[in-house]
Amino acid sequence: MTEVVFHVKPRDIPSNMTEIVHSETEYEDLLGQWSDLESGLGVILSNPASTQEFIRRVLQYDRWMQSLMQRDPDVGLYLLFQLAGNSPVGYSASHALVCATLCHVIGASLGASTDERGSLVHAALTMNIAMTALQDQLATQTDKPTQLQKDAIRLHSAKGSLMLANLGVIDTLWLDIVSAHHDDTVDKADLRQASPATRLARILKVVDRYAAMISPRMSRAGRNASESARAIMALASPSTDAIGHVLVSAIGMCPPGTYVRMDNDELAVVLHRSKQANHPYVAVVGQANGELLATPRLHNTAEGPPGIRSALAASTVRAHLNHFHILRLGVHAK
């Protein structure tokens, strides 16, 4: 197999969003980098034994993801949620990238050291390595899993950890997180006293569940973001409550890139988080009568009506939007 390489070399990190989306060409380049990152990850997860220097590739994709997020986290989340919410094709890689990015975003707030965050993100990227093909298949099948598929799902955590070790991973924390990311015993641990492996596996388990809820399958549409966040909070226990709250606090009930219905029936897409929790900047793109606006309109929901009435699943929005023009509005979001 040909060695996996970057299709687009990450550029120097610009200082603000204006530089990132200054032109449609730069927007296409940025979108292409996220897409290339997702597809490259899909290749190495589907063919790990045939990938030259597999571990180096995982670390390389981690650095690439971090560089894209450092440019502007809101733009990164916007593009990431757009990619994740639009299609079940290539689900395994998309899901891994969403989970890794969210773990990167919330890891420090949950007390993870730099080394621990690295192990957590690497585990998120590779946690389903033992069922990549099956995960893609399950995303596109309408029937319930067969018994054989259920057995593979049940065993994939332990098998994945073993596969990674055989590929040369010597980071025991990375391996332990992958092995335990579906283990129910981590739910009972007190995060303040738990071992690093247990604490980080619990973080990944919550993020994994949230990301699975928002992503579409052939058998169902993805949930909207706020419904998924509320479901995570409803499942919270003393050990998981902090994780759910930090996740929602970090990205919002309606993260950048997700669709919302305003309380005047207009359609909008969340553009940028604001200093006031759950009062983001949105780009209003559709009128109450269903017609699209010729030019999207920036609105800060923290400053007054209209407010957000409800979040929408990406699959329910059929409009073809010019996301470059929408992201350009973010230059004015403070």
DSSP 47-60: SGGGSTTHHHHHHH
Judged against a pLDDT cut of 60, whether residue 101 lies above it is answered with: yes
Across the range 125-150, mean pLDDT stands at: 90
d(CA 199, CA 240): 10
Burial (CB < 10 A; 0-12, 13-18, 19+), residue 117, is buried
| Alpha-carbon gap, residue 111 to 109, rounded angstroms | 5
In which band, very low, low, confident or very high, does the pLDDT at 30 lie, cut at 50, 70 and 90? Answer: confident
Q: What is the dihedral of CA 218, 219, 221, 226, to 10 degrees?
A: -130
- Predicted confidence (pLDDT) at residue 291 exceeds the cutoff of 70: yes
Rounded to the nearest integer, the mean pLDDT of the chain is: 83
pLDDT band at 214 (very low <50, low <70, confident <90, very high): confident
- Kindly report whether the peptide bond that precedes residue 196 is cis, defined as omega within 30 degrees of 0: no
| Residue 97 confidence (pLDDT) above 90 | yes
In this prediction, residue 205 carries a pLDDT of 92
Give domain limits for the chain: 17-251, 259-332
The angle that helices 114-126 and 91-107 make with each other, rounded to 10 degrees, is 170
Nearest to 202 by CA among 239, 255, 162, 165: 239
The pLDDT of 302-318, averaged and rounded, is: 86
pLDDT at 102: 94
Task: Read off the pTM.
Answer: 0.87
Q: Is the pLDDT of residue 127 over 50?
A: yes
pLDDT at 10: 36
Q: What is the CATH number that goes with domain 17-251?
A: 1.10.3210.10
Return the structure tokens found at 111: 């007390």
pLDDT at 216: 55
Tell me how far the alpha carbon of residue 2 is from its chain's centroid: 28
**Cα angle at 74 between 83 and 94, to 5 degrees?**
25
CA 217 → CA 83, 139, 186, distances in Å? 14, 5, 27
Which residues are bridge partners to 312 per DSSP?
Answer: 259
pLDDT for 7 equals 34
> Do residues 226 and 85 make contact, with C-beta atoms less than 8 angstroms apart?
no
User: At 9, is the pLDDT very low, low, confident or very high (cuts 50, 70, 90)?
Assistant: very low
Q: What pLDDT, on a 0 to 100 scale, did the predictor assign at position 223?
A: 56
